[in-house]
Structure 1
Amino acid sequence: MDAPANDKAALRRRMRMVRDLVDDRLMRSVQLWAAVAATDEYAAATSVMAFVGCKGEPDTDGLFARLAADGKRLLLPRVQDGEIVVCAGSGPMTVSRFGVSEPTGPALALSEVGYVLVPGLAFTADGYRLGYGGGFYDRFLPRLTVANAGVCFTEQLVDALPTDAHDVPVQRVISA
């Protein structure tokens, strides 16, 4: 279903409030990353593209420590010329114009990615997500051949979302 942009904008505001009210964020984040690590996709991957959690998102420090302990390479997104590029998660970081921490290193080939963890404001059981409105993951995910999963707190799971033709669902949703 095509949804007017103002419907999505209002839903984004509402879901930010829901997400920001999550109790025990650190403990819930630890549970979320344990659920991610229990997946076959995680076990099979030698590298995981994640994100730097901010603004009420799950705390990713625990995920980064788990990846290191499990011998997996951390990859992070950077928005460059309106598109997501993949970079090594080690090395210098900068804050983007969106207020998101991003790596400053060179872009890597998409073939470096083994598994992708996708942030969002809300997710449905069938994988549709409400992002932040830039469409970056909707353009990025179809370029990959590896598994991906949306990650969120259970409060961010909803029955339905307004969708547009360009919205790309994630393959699975993992929550805690």
Structure 2
Amino acid sequence: MKDAKNEILGYLDGALNLAEKVICKRDMSFNYPKVNFDYTGDIGGGQMCVRDNNLEIQIKEGLSYENQKGLAVRLLAHEVVHCLRPTTFDKINRLEEGIATWFGEYFLEKNFPGSDVNDVDDFNYKSALDDFKMLGRKELLSAYMNSKPELKFSDITPTSLCEIYGTKNNDIIRNLLMRFSY
């Protein structure tokens, strides 16, 4: 079991580096994230916590087993997105969860091509993912976020998102900027 945990931990650097490349640079005022396998919460298989300037990704113990490795890597990549521009739990919006869910799938496909754990089955995450995909052209959002290193996903306004994508305010944009419902 320890080997499976170490193997999963081995994906942290790659996930963070790729997330910074395709999503946005991380806020360097926070320490590099640590990962533990003692999450006992009831929301999904893990979470990202902020304590002072320390970031911690928590993953359920059972996901470190060999047969759950792909799921744990997808979850790790998902939580890495929350480490880029950390915000408080009560401010996380559907845009951030949509991006995190997309990146979890993207990273998993790059590392475990054809994996059967890539389907998101939670309605709220799937809905946020679908809305994020409808925006298209992720590089526009990435360029905007990188031009504003202090900006958190929760700080993005409908006006700025419309400007980024050259569109009028619509249901997709309004939905993405709503608080995420866990």
TM-score by length of 2: 0.27
Normalized per residue, the structure richer in helix is: 2
- TM-score between the two structures when normalised by the length of structure 1: 0.28
